[in-house]
Every structure is written in structure tokens, then in C-alpha cells.
Amino acid sequence: MTELIQRAPLSQILHIATASLAHASPVLSAAITAGFRESGVQSLKNLNDPNALPMVAIRSAGLALESIVGVVRHQPDGSSRSEEEQDDSEVDEITEALVDEEYLETLVQIANERFEANTERIRRFEENLFGGKSKEEDQWEDTEERKERKRREGLAKRAALKAHGGGRV
């Protein structure tokens, strides 16, 4: 039996849970615009259900790199082994390189270039998603936090109007 030795990194997927389909849409748009073309929206429920909580899956296989670099040949028990190999109980497979060192170096160079391209995609995705704002500037606020902020803003506005002689608010 012969097995191939293959260097193929698994594609990675970033899942982002969103509050609604309306929230999922700009996240998906930012991902696709940044170059993550295989991204999509999924949910275990109907996406039109207000309780759906759509999941945006950000993925890209466009920069994948696969290459067969060797084989492992398994020796059947006792067959075609030399006397030296039969004495060594651990020898039951032979690993054989199919490419030379120069080819491996070329693969490493290509892989590094693809990592750089992917890093640039991630940067563009962040920029598209946050619109150039720092993450701290655009924090998510839940319903209670928003209600409290709106109450404070309303009270401050009322106080400002009263201070300037404005009538009813």
C-alpha cells in the first residue's frame, strides 16, 4: 500500500453571529469586498424568522496551496524485506521524497506570499467592517445600555433647553 504525503493547509472559516439578517448583510458585504468571495450567510432557522440569529461564515479557498511532496510505502509483513530490515521490528514503511530541496523552498516562498495576501485581505475586511474607526469607537450596545444612553441624552437636552430659556421640551 502507498500513501501520498501532501502539504495542504485546511481552509479556515470565521463565523460571526449577528442579531438579524439586516446586521448580517454589511458584514457579508465587507467580507466579499475584501476578497473573501466564498463567504455566505447561514442559519439553522428560516432567515426571515426574527429569532433566526444569522451566522456569517467568512472563508476563502482562493489562496489554498496543495502539493504532493512524497509517498509512504507500506511493506507487507515479511515480503521483499532484506535481512537487515526483517531484523528491525519497527521498519514496516518507507518514506520517499518526490521533490528536491529547491522545490520545497519554492513551495515555502509561494505559501509565504499567500499568507501576506491573506493578511492584506483581513486588513481590508476590518477596514470595510469598521469603516476606519477604531474598534473601541464602535462598541455594540445592548438594549438596556441604549435605553440608558438615550435617557441621559434626553435629560441633558431638556436641561440645556431650560438653561437657555426654551419652553417645553
- Per-position pLDDT tens, the chain of length 169: 667 666 666 567 889 999 888 889 999 999 999 999 899 998 877 767 777 788 999 988 777 778 888 888 887 765 555 555 555 555 588 888 889 999 989 988 988 898 888 889 999 999 999 986 544 555 667 788 888 888 998 898 888 888 877 655 4
Q: Hunting for cell 496543495 — which residue is that?
A: 66
Write the single-letter amino acid at 90. Answer: E
| Rg of the chain taking only CA atoms, in angstroms | 29
Tell me the pTM.
Answer: 0.57
Bridge partners (DSSP) listed for residue 95: 72
Q: How far apart are CA 109 and CA 90, in angstroms?
A: 35
